[in-house]
């Protein structure tokens, strides 16, 4: 038996005789979980890179936490979202440390926008009489002030009474740009600094992918980097990392960031330099130039490559006017910056914004980057994104000089990790592929309905709803209908709203968390969703017994970054569809399918409506990458299956 720092074998706690079976009621030992723990420990101890897919139900969280905690090594764990961060840190980590009886110093660290900034809170309170007099915003600000006096972490997630997307949060939190650093009057009471200090002192730190990438690029410079001194980085939900890496290795600038700069500049000018003539005119020119560009960007539908905009000349003219206005503003700051810390900070931020604008506007931008714009409501994002970020990510990994462990339920395509490894530049890595311990063959049924029209047909969404109708009625609701576009979602909602007698929950009509709560509470609801419901959603039991997927989730062909990547592959003589588009769609489908079976006792029907899965040669790759479910094209078999697994459900009459 292999020793592990004087402790029993690292997988032993997860065995039938181990501490988890002894201390956790209902704990079921799983050979796949123990195999994963064994592989994680080897990679951690031998400073190797591991890429592992662990099917739903493996228990991968415990499988990596046990060796991480027992190793005595300094470990950084990165999750896909802040919600998963909180779950891991506040629920899973305490449970494992208690079972192991090994108290370890841990820390939770989020990006700075998640922590209250006392200095900016003071500024917001100072101006609140004019901005929020007597309204709901004034009451929300008062609740923040009250909470600020009792919080021990400054993490804004603690204040659940304030909406997550309240515009006030931007007023009372800081960014890398507007943080005053050591010059801040509240520096000694900075929650970001305190969170970073705890992280530096901890053996195990929980972050998210965005913060991990920011740290790799030293975007949080000034508060110390996390990666130096770390023995191992464990990346959970690693399938999300390549796309996030592309964002961080590029350049982006939003209209929101520009507006915030101009707003803060006006505030600091009025506070400290109001006697200086002419500067307010420079601010007004910047505001006017930004407004002109925003008005022009209202013509953009969704996302577009910059060179494809029409009329491109008009977009370039307005971008040039904004650049010139900010250049004038930057010169104006030179004479005022010495008057206050805030004015000097605005001067530095203007210089940073100017640098990004110049990078974006440069006509000689590198060939391996794509310039594109995204419209968001009345605002926009300017983006300069690398076509391939694998080289840069690999270089950052090598500089960290530690072991890397990449884990997810969806990393392989037909048992191959080649696509994932290629996107992150993982030339050398150990691989482990572990299937789900769930009995898909008996507990799940894959339904491939016949005689549906082409996905390009205007009648396709209506046909999907028509085909799903007898299935959803047989299950008494209890269904997710997942769509690949908001247009299809809206069309389907309009159809079923008048036809189905079940409670209907539609994405966009309530916050995501509330929709899921209602779905679980009601027990017979039908939820219609798009991309945000394809992953990270966990509904166990009969409340979710049917998952309907309208089409194979190929990325939108108009995505400018996708187009650039495909072009780059084709220039290399490679098959862009087979090597990129198809693998991406397979991984996305695996995520959607993963919503159905979440527990040993779960049962249900997966209905995949896209006829291409049967008619196209590549359809076999999708089917072979799914869990081993029985397949049928027979509606009667589906209804009989549902009648067996849901014997007490009241059926809805057509």
Mean pLDDT, rounded, for 300-313 = 89
Per CATH, is 440-645 categorized as 3.40.50.300? yes
For the stretch 338-372, pLDDT in tens is 888 889 999 999 999 999 998 898 866 556 888 99
Query: Collapsing DSSP states into helix, strand and coil, what is residue 464?
Result: helix
Residue 155's nearest CA partner among 212, 66, 209, 85 is: 85
Please state the separation of Cα 506 from the chain's center in Å: 21
Choose between 384 and 165: higher pLDDT: 384
CA atoms in the 13 A half-sphere facing the CB of 111: 17
pLDDT of residue 571: 86
For the stretch 370-422, pLDDT in tens is 899 999 888 999 999 998 899 999 998 988 889 999 999 999 998 999 999 99
271: which residues sit within 8 A by CB, 6+ positions away? 340, 342
- Residue pair 510/457 in contact by the 8 Å Cβ criterion: no
pTM of the model: 0.88
Look at the block and give the residue holding tokens 């890429």: 51
Q: How confident is the model at residue 218 (pLDDT cuts 50, 70, 90)?
A: low
Q: Count of CB atoms within 10 A of residue 649's CB?
A: 18
pLDDT of residue 259: 93
Show the tokens assigned to 476.
């008494």
Residue 580's nearest CA partner among 209, 242, 247, 213 is: 242
Query: Collapsing DSSP states into helix, strand and coil, what is residue 617?
Result: coil
For the stretch 80-138, pLDDT in tens is 888 889 989 999 999 999 999 988 999 999 988 899 999 999 888 877 655 555 567 78
pLDDT of residue 94: 95
pLDDT of residue 3: 35
Please state the separation of Cα 107 from the chain's center in Å: 21
For the stretch 219-267, pLDDT in tens is 544 445 777 789 999 999 999 999 999 988 888 999 999 998 998 899 8
Highest mean pLDDT among 6-15, 65-74, 207-216: 65-74
pLDDT of residue 221: 44
DSSP 12: G
- Domain positions in the chain: 1-104+203-249+390-437, 115-188, 252-386, 440-645
Mean pLDDT, rounded, for 589-593 = 91
For the stretch 428-479, pLDDT in tens is 899 999 999 999 999 999 999 998 999 999 999 999 999 999 999 999 999 9
For the stretch 527-578, pLDDT in tens is 999 988 888 788 899 999 999 999 999 988 788 888 888 888 888 899 999 9
252-386, CATH topology level: de novo design (two linked rop proteins) (1.20.1440)
Domains 1-104+203-249+390-437 and 440-645 share a fold: yes
Residue 562: C-alpha distances to residues 370, 385, 386, 584 (Å): 10, 11, 11, 11
pLDDT of residue 599: 86
DSSP 533: G
Residue 495: C-alpha distances to residues 150, 463, 465, 489, 605 (Å): 50, 11, 8, 10, 22
pLDDT of residue 421: 96
Average pLDDT, the chain: 89
Show the tokens assigned to 3.
């020793």
Separation CA 595–CA 589 (nearest Å): 10
Walk across the sheet containing 379-386 and list its strands.
Answer: 251-254, 379-386, 369-376, 303-305
Looking at domain 1-104+203-249+390-437, its CATH superfamily turns out to be P-loop containing nucleotide triphosphate hydrolases (3.40.50.300)
- Residue pair 378/294 in contact by the 8 Å Cβ criterion: yes
């Amino acid at each position: 038996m292999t020793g592990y720092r004087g402790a029993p074998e690292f997988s032993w706690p997860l065995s039938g005789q181990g501490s988890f079976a002894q201390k956790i009621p209902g704990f079921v030992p799983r050979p796949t979980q123990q195999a994963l723990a064994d592989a994680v420990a080897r990679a951690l101890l031998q400073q190797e890179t591991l890429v592992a897919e662990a099917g739903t139900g493996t228990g991968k969280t415990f499988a990596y936490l046990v060796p991480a905690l027992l190793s005595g090594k300094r470990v950084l764990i990165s999750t896909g979202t802040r919600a998963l961060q909180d779950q891991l840190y506040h629920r899973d980590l305490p449970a494992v440390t208690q079972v192991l009886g090994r108290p370890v110093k841990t820390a939770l660290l989020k990006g700075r926008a998640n922590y209250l900034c006392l200095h900016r809170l003071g500024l917001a309170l100072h101006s609140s009489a004019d901005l929020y007099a007597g309204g709901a915003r004034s009451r929300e600000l008062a609740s923040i002030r009250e909470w600020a006096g009792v919080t021990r972490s400054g993490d804004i997630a603690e204040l659940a009474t304030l909406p997550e997307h309240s515009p006030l949060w931007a007023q009372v939190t800081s960014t890398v740009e507007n943080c005053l650093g050591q010059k801040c009057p509240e520096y000694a009471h900075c929650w970001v600094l305190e969170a970073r200090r705890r992280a530096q002192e901890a053996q195990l730190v929980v972050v998210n992918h965005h913060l991990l990438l920011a740290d790799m690029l030293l975007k949080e410079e000034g508060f110390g980097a996390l990666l130096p001194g770390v023995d191992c980085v464990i990346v959970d939900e690693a399938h999300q990392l390549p796309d996030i890496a592309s964002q961080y290795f590029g350049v982006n600038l939003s209209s929101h960031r520009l507006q915030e700069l101009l707003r803060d500049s006006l505030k600091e000018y009025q506070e400290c330099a109001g006697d200086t003539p002419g500067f307010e005119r420079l601010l007004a020119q910047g505001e006017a130039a930004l407004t002109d560009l925003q008005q022009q960007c209202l013509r953009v539908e969704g996302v577009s490559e910059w060179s494809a905009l029409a009329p491109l000349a008009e977009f370039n003219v307005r971008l040039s006017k904004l650049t010139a206005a900010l250049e004038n503003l930057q010169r104006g700051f030179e004479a005022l910056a010495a008057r206050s810390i805030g004015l000097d900070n605005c001067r530095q931020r203007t210089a940073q914004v100017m640098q990004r604008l110049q990078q974006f506007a440069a006509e000689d931008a590198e060939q391996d980057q794509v310039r594109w714009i995204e419209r968001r409501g009345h605002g926009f994002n300017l983006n300069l994104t690398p076509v391939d970020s694998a080289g840069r990510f690999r270089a950052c990994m090598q500089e960290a000089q530690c072991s890397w462990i990449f884990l997810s339920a969806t990393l392989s395509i037909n048992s191959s990790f080649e696509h994932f490894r290629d996107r992150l530049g993982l030339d050398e890595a150990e691989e482990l592929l572990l299937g789900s311990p769930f009995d898909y063959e008996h507990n799940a049924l894959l339904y491939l309905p016949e005689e549906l029209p082409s996905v390009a047909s205007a009648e396709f969404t209506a046909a999907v709803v028509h085909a799903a109708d007898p299935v959803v009625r047989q299950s008494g609701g209890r269904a997710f209908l997942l769509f690949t576009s908001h247009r299809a979602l809206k069309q389907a909602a309009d159809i079923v709203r008048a036809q189905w007698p079940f409670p209907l929950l539609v994405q966009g009509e309530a916050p995501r968390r509330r929709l899921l709560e209602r779905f679980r509470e009601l027990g017979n609801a039908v939820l219609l969703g798009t991309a945000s419901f394809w992953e990270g959603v966990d509904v166990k039991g009969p409340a979710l017994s049917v998952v309907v997927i309208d089409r194979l989730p190929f990325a939108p062909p108009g995505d400018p970054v996708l187009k650039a990547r495909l072009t780059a592959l084709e220039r290399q003589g490679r098959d862009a569809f087979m090597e990129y588009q198809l693998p991406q769609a397979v991984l996305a489908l695996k995520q959607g399918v993963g919503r159905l079976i979440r527990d040993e006792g779960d049962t249900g029907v997966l209905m995949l409506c896209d006829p291409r899965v049967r008619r196209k040669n590549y359809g076999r790759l999708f089917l072979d990458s799914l869990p081993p479910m029985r397949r049928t094209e027979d509606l009667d078999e589906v209804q009989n299956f549902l009648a067996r697994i849901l014997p007490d459900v009241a059926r809805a009459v057509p």
